[in-house]
């Protein structure tokens, strides 16, 4: 099964990530790294490979692999 893979170089690291909101299993999380910064992470154990998040990333940072 293909799973969502995030390209950290393309990701804008927004806490308001649209892909995070649309994931039906809560596999996409914003992880704080400081007071005002953080990064998006995808939990591959939780991901069910639905592919929804791919279309919601405005930077095409997520692909299915
Ligand atoms: S492919 Fe589906 S389950 Fe996996 S991270 Fe994206 S929205 Fe969530």
Residue 63: is its pLDDT beyond 90? yes
Contact 60, 52 (CB under 8 A): no
> Which amino acid residue places its CA nearest to atom 7 of ligand 1?
23
Range of the domain at 37: 4-64
Taking phi first (over 0 means left), then psi (-120 to 50 degrees means alpha), and beta for anything else, what does residue 13 get?
A: left
The enclosing domain of 11 has a CATH number of: 3.30.70.20
Cα(23) to centroid(ligand 1), Å: 5
pLDDT in tens, 22-57: 999 999 999 999 988 999 999 999 999 999 999 999
pTM of the model: 0.93
- If one counts the domains in the chain, the total is 1
Q: What residues does ligand 1 touch, defined as CB less than 6 Å away?
A: 4, 22-23, 25, 27-28, 42, 47-53
Please tell me the predicted confidence (pLDDT) of residue 36: 86
Please tell me the predicted confidence (pLDDT) of residue 5: 98
């Amino acid at each position: 099964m293909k799973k969502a893979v995030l390209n950290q170089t393309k990701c804008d690291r927004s806490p308001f990530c649209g892909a995070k909101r649309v994931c039906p299993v809560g596999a996409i999380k914003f992880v704080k790294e400081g007071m005002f910064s953080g990064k998006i992470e995808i939990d591959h154990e939780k991901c069910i490979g639905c592919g929804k998040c791919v279309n919601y990333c405005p930077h095409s940072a997520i692909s299915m692999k």
